[in-house]
Amino acid sequence: MNKDQLKKGLTAIKGTRDILPEEAQLWQIVEAMAKSIFELYAYRELRAPVIEPTELFEKGTGASSDIVTKEMYTFNDKGGRSVTLRPEYTPSVVRAIIEHRLDLQGFPLRFYYIGPMFRYDRPQKGRYRQFHQIDVEVFGEKDPAVDAEIVEMAHRLLNKLGVGNVMTLVNSVGCKSCRPTYGQALRKVALESLDKLCPDCQRKAELNPLRIFDCKLETCQKTASTFPLITDFLCAECREHFEKFLSYLDFYGISYKIEPTLVRGLDYYTKTAFEIVTGDLGSQNAICGGGRYDDMVKEFGGPELCGIGFAMGLERLLSVAKISPARKNFVYFAYMGEEAKKESLRVARYLRSKGIECLVEFKDRGLKAHFSRANKIGANWVLIIGEDELSQGKLQIKDMVTSKQHQGTAEELARILTDKRSQ
């Protein structure tokens, strides 16, 4: 089956893709590793819906962000309500905290989640309309030690996955009290340089000049490189927070680069903003982005509760991760005849109860056809049940790699299979 054979209109939606079993195996490894690492830090999984009211992102992600102005998957449902396929996860977690008053509960407000996000962007390598993120959020911790904790946690995961060539870019984008002054200074120079900016950035100059730093066009980046830097405008509190954050990164031995123009694509950041990039990715080099958002919970109508988090792109992560699926016992059943079929089902049921993967296919095959089928699907053991085996009450199992055979009862074979992997 290929694209031309598929009836018109039935192919996958542009920018989405199927993750086929061979690749999905790698996803499972990465997902399991991420979950176990986050749980090591006492983070808990919080699952929110894929669709949310559009206003959630307009208010949370920010009306002048690229995501809200250009990239949202928004439509009206049958009740006429505007809904959006979530482009990012943070606003959903904030909503869940307020709706369930999670701030009143005793458990640590440290959450993680892995799942699909949607952005109506131009699809290209490393950029899809349905993509996946690993997301981490912490609430109620002002201490910059937690900013460093999540960076260290991200590095632990990248390290474990063998991602090389990584660099951490850090910045402080200030807070409600110092950023407005900076915004004014920035607006002034941006309006003076309008002719050197793209139409998009010309609009941002008035609306939210900070966003110009996030433009991917080289000409705009060059113009923005002459603009004043936030570093010179930070208030004493933000400056101290930033310095402490850096000192904790030093403590963990994480090398970083201070990037005063790093503002990130979301409107809500306060103080810490960071990005982890890798030289192995080409132009879409950002693998993880995050920062602090101390005002969002309050702005959504919730209590005074600061927050910080990051999101890691799974597609980009997988394209640079150095992992291969672990070889496991996978037993294919070669049986001949109706009675042997029933015996296969019985033995498979028993072996599965011992955690051994079994495949019984329901096709009449001769022994040779069974073996070529087992080879084709990559089974590493073939369990043979024919008339001889039935009459003797003994089963035979063959290691497909070494060709070694073993004979025994189901119980004996289970012991062999759990003791040793196929070589």
Q: Which residues bind ligand ATP (CB under 6 A)?
A: 88, 119, 121, 126-128, 131, 133, 264-265, 284, 286-289, 311, 313, 315-316
Q: Is residue 360 exposed (0-12), middle (13-18) or buried (19+ Cβ within 10 Å)?
A: middle
The length of the chain is 423
- Distance of closest approach, residue 139 Cβ to ligand ATP, in angstroms: 19
- Cβ–Cβ < 8 Å for 201, 207: no
Short-list 109, 165, 133, CA closest to 31 = 133
CA angle 229, 231, 234 (to 5 degrees): 120
Please, which residue, 315 or 343, has the CB nearer to ligand ATP? 315
Q: Which residue is nearest to ligand ATP (CB)?
A: 313
Please, which residue, 121 or 412, has the CB nearer to ligand ATP? 121
- Distance of closest approach, residue 340 Cβ to ligand ATP, in angstroms: 50
Inter-CA distances, 155 with 112, 243, 310, Å: 15, 20, 12
Please, which residue, 215 or 414, has the CB nearer to ligand ATP? 215
CA dist 296 and 422 (Å) reads 53
- Distance of closest approach, residue 122 Cβ to ligand ATP, in angstroms: 9
Please, which residue, 318 or 360, has the CB nearer to ligand ATP? 318
Helices H / strands E in the chain, number of each:
15, 16
- Distance of closest approach, residue 252 Cβ to ligand ATP, in angstroms: 21
- Count CB-CB contacts under 10 A for residue 157: 21
Q: What is the dihedral of CA 243, 182, 298, 312, to 10 degrees?
A: -60
Please, which residue, 17 or 341, has the CB nearer to ligand ATP? 17
- Distance of closest approach, residue 315 Cβ to ligand ATP, in angstroms: 5
- Count CB-CB contacts under 10 A for residue 375: 12
Please, which residue, 135 or 399, has the CB nearer to ligand ATP? 135
- Cβ–Cβ < 8 Å for 274, 310: yes
Q: What is the DSSP string of 64-98?
A: TSHIIIII-EEEE-TTS-EEEE-S-SHHHHHHHHH
User: At 388, is the secondary structure helix, strand, or coil?
Assistant: helix
Please, which residue, 216 or 327, has the CB nearer to ligand ATP? 216
Please, which residue, 73 or 330, has the CB nearer to ligand ATP? 73
- Distance of closest approach, residue 55 Cβ to ligand ATP, in angstroms: 19
CA dist 168 and 137 (Å) reads 18
- Distance of closest approach, residue 247 Cβ to ligand ATP, in angstroms: 25
Please, which residue, 311 or 395, has the CB nearer to ligand ATP? 311
- Distance of closest approach, residue 168 Cβ to ligand ATP, in angstroms: 13
CA dist 382 and 368 (Å) reads 12
- Distance of closest approach, residue 127 Cβ to ligand ATP, in angstroms: 4
- Distance of closest approach, residue 216 Cβ to ligand ATP, in angstroms: 7
- Distance of closest approach, residue 40 Cβ to ligand ATP, in angstroms: 22
Q: What is the DSSP string of 347-362?
A: HHHHHHHTT-EEE---
Please, which residue, 86 or 370, has the CB nearer to ligand ATP? 86
Inter-CA distances, 67 with 278, 379, 395, 398, Å: 23, 46, 60, 56
- Cβ–Cβ < 8 Å for 274, 266: no
Please, which residue, 62 or 289, has the CB nearer to ligand ATP? 289
